[in-house]
Structure 1
Amino acid sequence: MHWRSKLLALAVSLLFGTLLFCFAQEKTLVVAIEHDVMTLDPGNHRDRETETVIRNMFDGLVTRTPDMEIVPELAVSWERPSPNEWVFHLRDGVTWHDGTPFTAEDVKFTIDRTVKEGMIAGQTSPRKGLLGSVTGAEVIDRLTVKIITSTPWPALISFLPFHEIVPKHYVEEVGDEYFAEHPVGTGPFKFVRWDKGVQVVMERYEGYYGGSPDIPPVGPAKVDRVIFRIIPETSTRIAALRAGEVHIATRIPVDLIPEIEADPNLQVMAVRGTRSTFIEMNVTKPPFDSVLVRRAMNYAIDVDKIVDLVLAGLATPIPSLLSPDSPFYKPLEPYGYDPERARALLAEAGYPDGFELTIDCEDYLKDVAVVVAQMLRQVGIDAKVQVWEWGVLKPKLLAHERAMWITDWGNGSLDPTGIMHPKLVTGERGNYSGYSSCLYDGLFEFANNVTLDPESRKEAFHIAQEVIYYDAPMVFLYVAQEVYGVSRRVANWRPSPDSRINLHDADLMG
């Protein structure tokens, strides 16, 4: 019996060692993000950080490649049988993380839940505006669904990547509030737990259908587990990256890039983002009710110098609100830096001695605001900077109480509807400047609700960019690069312009 006991002990030891080896080989990829997610319900937020976490557990009808090309995902194809109808043919064999088959009922449920009033725990989805004139959806058969719009809305496909499909059966069974903290999706990773304020943990879904065939490799995720760890402080994110505790760190400031580049185990990865930065002016009150003064501001600010001095060259100057990556971008000649012309325009407008001005901003744009103030002082404007919390500043902007502020606006759709419409169409939600132009509004009405011709739509948006160029309700600054610190162990991943961190194909080496 003695030898049997020894043999049993040896077997147990070997088994335990094998298990330890297997666990040691498990690949866990950790991403450090700046703030916690707002929810894990794809339909109940307007937050990029929340979106990037959710995107790894849920798929949409379509998605974007890292080059921002729109490709099929849960849909395999689509057509437009009439101006107000889009028919999508869905991928067969897809299952939710609980094993239930994905069908057209889920798509209808998701669309209706997004655009109809009071569908999420009695509240209306904050993402409703990201579906334009969509009024609902109809099931044609198990794998075919029709999306209906109230007007011809050509931008639909550009906005669909913002919308992940949710499971009708599960949401109806557990309710909106439980779903928001215990999600079930169709994506490459399934939910494990959410330690609020600390991390979101997910693991590979072995039954994953493989993802978009246009983004190879197709198949299950490469890593076993993904953790999105919340680390608000930049220095702490970088320290965790250098210690090997995280593998991807977001939002690296330009002044800390050399610290990462000096570490042989790390690399800096950057991509031009989709967030335009600009200076808005209150056009409803003096002095910025004068177009001469607004043009003077454009000539007084050296955008190239701001990009070089503050952003270390990691930004692209823009002559309008659109990113150069937008297919609707018109390459207008920038105003250029001309302080003499700025002074002449100020004098012509009745301000030969300038005026006093406070430039408002949030803390992350303070360095830019300080340089802008210095430049304005060079043309006789007594400018100073005031830093605000956004929650305090926004109501004042909506009430048109402030004169000038520096801000930015993300436009992951790359369609003018995502930025030029909310920022400058009369009365829209982001139009803090009070700008109003019948011509500009009419061009958007034509482009979004009248024409079906892509070239006519593009021409309308080109004219709209010329209108705001000459009306100058803003000083157009730049589109900055999104900068990440990345461990050299990370393979098959690169940043996306829309700042989503898609980890389906990412792997850990060594």
Structure 2
Amino acid sequence: MKIKVIIACCLALILWNKATATTLRVAFDADPISLDPHEQLSEGTLQFSHLVFDPLLRWKQNGQFEPRLATHWQRIDSRTIRFYLRKNITFHSGNPFSAKDVVYTINRLKKSPDFRAMFDTIASVSAIDDYTIDVHATTPNPLLLNIMTYVFPMDKAFYQGKDQIIKYGETFASRHVSGTGPFTLVSRELGSRMELKRNPNYWDKHSVGNVDDIIMTPIRADSTRLAALLSGDVDFIFPVSPIDIERTKKVSGIQLVTLPSTRILLLHMNQKRRKEFRDVRVRKAINLAINQSLIVEKILKGYATPAGQLSADRFLGHINDLQPEYDLPKALALMKEAGYVKGFRISMMAPNNRYMNDEKVAQAITAMLARIHITVELKTLPKAQYFKEFDNRAADMMMLGWQSDTMDSNNLFEFIIACPDAKTGLGAYNASEYCERSIDDNIHQANREMNPERRLRLMQQVERTLYKDAAIVPLYWQSLIWAAKDNVKIQDIVNDQNYPHLGDLFVESK
């Protein structure tokens, strides 16, 4: 009898918590530039996609795959995976979800300038019936499931015929949205406020999430964002500046959650714009003049890991002995040897609200390069304006952060190292305009190599070539730091890709 009473009380508590669902006020450093999930391959876009759309599958905190709109899958042959879809799901528009929407979405992804390189490895997708699809790769593909985490099915009946993708443009998809996700969009004022409401028809009835409304406010300044949390104006913020961490830890009722991540920060040196950057001695001098360890220690307060390569240590391409090297006398000697003993002047752009302390890091780099007589004209811009300039390759040196979309080295190489090719999407974020055909060959081979040892050798060969050529300047792998009120259980829904699963967020009643 006592057991029945306990069970009844637990059920009543759960139902009461659900009934007292709350409003979550969130302040991040920036908001997504568009409602179109295929317009820009960025953290903000993917965070938004997890709110209003649903992926076929997603990463769990333990690094395993979790079924979402696909209930399960099976490999049919070396090039094909069959996905079985959930039934009785509707889009926010009221249209029913089926295989045709997934086929439509993948075909649209193959046309997206930003996503094309990833989805170019998919030859076709076909509907077997209303709730079964086959995804066919161009070759045997070791990362096919990883790629499918970026398929957030769109409402074909809602979008088709008015689904043009224009970066930073005014299109139907950039202003309207119909997904299957846990929240529906109520209103949006770009750069000011976004409001979302719980989807009453959401399929995941097992989720513990009890947030009924979300109000998202972009707050660019770290100090202002933290002040909003400490004053009680918001409940959950990202990021927290490293200089504020010790202070925040001492505040009663506030929690900090920190995770290492695989997001690499780097500098591109544009070889088309500047003949000096075509000289490997100059590129090596720049690498040797930048003190990554000092930046991590002084500006990031240890909440990052200095990098001497692109691949984080959990990726196959990582090489233990490729460490960042700081050697100012050697850098000066290389500048002299290259004929630039008096240096030269360059332009540099960086964002000022995209990465942790990005503007301060850019300013420190400017001072470091001055020591080898490179005078930097630095311009920093908010995220939305910055990436327009990045796409235009508007400065000689540009900062970029990249989280591997597939949690694999090859994604880094495809987007930021491969020879730029508008047709395939390769090199879409290669603002160095660096091009080495042997690297492209290794990228293509790694995309179809099923043997992990052979894949490892291919990707490590790319890392060694990049190091030898000093093709880019790796800076550091950035840590992720969130803060929230104690009753907001963010530790259960954050992850090292920084796509918080807010649909599953549980907020305790005070």
TM-score range, shorter chain: 0.7 to 0.9
Are 1:272 and 2:260 counterparts? yes
SS of residue in 1 equivalent to 2:52? coil
Q: Distance in 1 between matches of 2:418 and 2:132?
A: 36
1:42 counterpart SS class: coil
Report if aligned partners of 2:398, 2:431 keep a CA contact under 8 Å in 1. Answer: no
- Residue 375 of structure 2 aligns to which amino acid in structure 1? A
Give the drift of 1:131. Answer: 1.8
Does the 8 A contact of 2:307 with 2:324 survive in 1? no
Aligned pair partner of 2:179 in 185, 188, 192: 185
Match of 1:89, SS state, is strand
Counterpart of 2:261, as a letter, is G
SS in 1 for 2:278: coil
1:423 matched to 2:416? The reply is yes
Shift of 1:470: 1.0
Rounded Cα–Cα distance in structure 2 between residues aligned with 1:206 and 1:401 = 46
Give the paired residue count.
474
Q: Which residue is 2:329 aligned to?
A: 340
Q: Residues 405, 178 of structure 1: CA spacing in aligned structure 2 closer, same or farther, 3 A cutoff?
A: closer
Shift of residue 420 of structure 1? 1.5
Deviation of 1:61 (Å): 0.9
Q: Say if 1:56 and 1:503, in contact at 8 Å, map to a contact too.
A: yes
1:27-70 deviation per Cα after TM superposition (whole angstroms, max 9, x unaligned)? 11121133343343434443422331331222111111134433
CA distance in 1, matches of 2:313, 2:327: 23
Distance 1:98 1:247 in 2: 30
Spell out, residue by residue over 1:292-318, the C-alpha distance to the aligned partner (whole angstroms, 9 max, x if none). 332233222221111001111111112
1:242 to 221, 230, 238: 230
For residues 169 and 31 of structure 1, what CA distance do their matches in structure 2 show?
32
> Percent of aligned positions with the same letter in both sequences?
25
Which of residues 71, 78, 86 in structure 1 aligns to 2:73? 78
- Kindly provide the CA deviation profile for residues 236-268 of structure 1, in whole angstroms up to 9, marking residues without a partner as x: 432321222211112232233344334212223
Cα distance, 1:196–1:318 mapped onto 2, change above 3 Å: closer
Return closer, same or farther for 1:466/1:196 CA change in 2, 3 Å cut-off.
closer
**Rounded Cα–Cα distance in structure 2 between residues aligned with 1:178 and 1:286:** 42
2:376 to 377, 384, 390: 384
- TM-superposed CA distance for 1:374, in Å, is 3.3
Q: Are the structure 2 counterparts of residues 180 and 422 from structure 1 closer, same or farther at C-alpha, using a change threshold of 3 Å?
A: closer
Query: SS in structure 2 opposite 1:504?
Result: helix
1:313 aligns to what? Answer: 302
Aligned alpha-carbon RMSD (Å): 3.4
Q: How far apart are residue 465 of structure 1 and its match?
A: 0.7
Counterpart amino acid of residue 87 in structure 1: R
The amino acid that maps onto 2:260 is: R
CA contact (8 A) 1:359 1:369 kept: no
Secondary structure at 2:294's aligned position in 1?
helix
What displacement does 1:172 show?
5.4
Q: 1:56 to 1:296 in 2, by over 3 A?
A: same
Contact 1:270/1:495, CA 8 A, preserved across alignment: no
Contact 1:204 1:220 in 2 (8 A): no
Which residue matches 2:360?
Answer: 367
1:418: Cα distance to partner? 2.6
- 2:478 is aligned to 480
Evaluate the alpha carbon distance shift between residue 196 and residue 345 of structure 1 in structure 2; reply closer, same or farther with a 3 A threshold: closer
Q: Given the superposition, is the C-alpha separation of residues 206 and 406 from structure 1 closer, same or farther in structure 2, using an over 3 Å criterion? A: closer
Give the match for residue 50 of structure 2. 55
- C-alpha distance 107-336 of structure 1, shift in aligned 2 (>3 A): same
Aligned to 1:495: 494
Which residue of structure 2 aligns with residue 231 of structure 1? 219
1:288 to 245, 253, 277: 277
1:445 match:
444
SS at structure 2 position matched to 1:87: strand
Q: State the one-letter code of the partner of 1:307.
A: V
Say which SS state the counterpart of residue 502 (structure 2) adopts. coil
Question: Quick one: structure 1 residues 97 and 489, their matched pair in 2 at CA, closer, same or farther if it must change by over 3 Å?
Answer: same
Larger deviation, residues 27-36 vs 147-156: 147-156
Task: In structure 1, give the amino acid aligned to 2:404.
Answer: N
Alpha-carbon separation, structure 2, partners of 1:101 and 1:290? 58
C-alpha distance in 2 between matches for 1:265 and 1:395: 40
Task: Look up the SS of the partner of 1:162 in the other structure.
Answer: coil
Structure 1 residues 132 and 198: alpha-carbon distance in aligned structure 2, compared to 1, 3 A threshold: same
2:194 equivalent in structure 1? 200
Preserved CA contact (<8 Å) 1:53 1:228: no
Q: 1:66 aligns with which of 57, 61, 69?
A: 61
**Structure 1 residues 367 and 385: alpha-carbon distance in aligned structure 2, compared to 1, 3 A threshold:** farther
Q: In structure 1, how many angstroms separate the alpha carbons of the residues matched to 2:387 and 2:66?
A: 36
Judged with a 3 Å threshold, the aligned counterparts in structure 2 of structure 1 residues 288 and 233 are, in CA distance, closer, same or farther, namely closer
Secondary structure of 1:288's counterpart equals: helix
Contact 1:113 1:125 in 2 (8 A): no
Are 2:31 and 1:30 aligned?
no
Partner Cα separation in structure 2 for residue 477 and residue 225 of structure 1: 38
Q: Secondary structure at the match of 1:287?
A: helix
Go from structure 1 to structure 2 and tell me whether the alpha carbon gap of 1:363 and 1:221 turns closer, same or farther (over 3 Å shift).
Answer: closer
Structure 1: unaligned runs, 5 residues or longer: 1-20, 117-123, 212-217
SS at the partner of 2:153?
A: coil
1:459 maps to 457
Deviation at 1:502, TM superposition (A): 1.3
Q: Which amino acid aligns with 2:180?
A: T
* 2:348 counterpart SS class: strand
Equivalent position SS for 1:462? helix
Is residue 357–residue 403 contact of structure 1 (8 Å, CA) maintained in 2? no
Change (3 A) 1:207 1:328: farther
Tell whether the 8 Å contact from 1:300 to 1:339 is kept in structure 2 after alignment: yes
Q: Which residue of 1 aligns with 2:312?
A: 323
Cα gap change, 1:345 to 1:195, in 2 (>3 Å): closer
Structure 1 residues 395, 289: closer, same or farther in 2, change over 3 A? Answer: farther
Work out whether residues 79 and 88 of structure 1, in 8 Å CA contact, stay in contact via their aligned partners in 2: yes
Segment of structure 1 superposing worse, 396-405 or 301-310: 396-405
Once the 2 structures are TM-superposed, how far is the Cα of residue 393 of structure 1 from its aligned partner? 7.5
Q: Tell me if the contact between 2:304 and 2:479 (Cα under 8 Å) persists in the aligned partners.
A: yes
C-alpha separation in 1, matches of 2:257 and 2:265: 21
In 2: Cα distance, 1:224 partner to 1:464 partner: 47
Give the superposition deviation at 1:174: 9.9
- Partner residue of 1:16? none
Alignment deviations for residues 210-233 of structure 1 (CA, whole Å, 9 cap, x no partner): 28xxxxxx4362223222233344
Moved more, 383-392 or 359-368: 383-392
Distance 1:403 1:37 in 2: 26
Structure 2 gaps of 5+ residues are: 1-15, 165-170, 353-357, 421-426
